[in-house]
Amino acid sequence: MAKVTLIKRVFAYENRKLNDPDPNMTPEEVRDVYSATYPELATAVIDGPEDGDKGEQQYSFRRAVGTKG
C-alpha cells in the first residue's frame, strides 16, 4: 500500500507567513478567510505555488495594482 504525504502549504503576505487554515480550501478561499484580518487582501493577486522551505508550497498574496477613483 502506497503512503500518501500531503505537502504543507504556506501563504505569505508582506513578509508574514500565514498558516493554511484548511488544506481542503482553494488558495482563493484562504485569501477570503485572511481578508477578514487583512481587508486589503480582498482583491489581492495570488502568486504560486513556489517551492518553499522544508518542501512546502508557498503562495504569496500581492495587492492588486490599480488606480483610485
Residue 7: what pLDDT?
Answer: 84
How far is residue 28's CA from residue 21's CA, in Å, rounded to a whole number?
A: 12
Residue 9: what pLDDT?
Answer: 94
Cell numbers 477578514 correspond to 36
39 within a domain of the structure (yes/no): yes
69 within a domain of the structure (yes/no): no
Residue 32: what pLDDT?
Answer: 97
Give all strands (DSSP E) within 1-69, no chain letters: 9-13, 16-19, 45-51, 57-62
Mean pLDDT of 16-30: 95
- Number of domains observed in the structure of the chain: 1
Instruction: Tell me which residue range forms the domain holding 42.
Output: 9-62
- pTM, two decimal places: 0.81
Residue 48: what pLDDT?
Answer: 95
Cell numbers 482553494 correspond to 26
44 within a domain of the structure (yes/no): yes
How far is residue 21's CA from residue 56's CA, in Å, rounded to a whole number?
A: 15
Residue 68: what pLDDT?
Answer: 58
57 within a domain of the structure (yes/no): yes
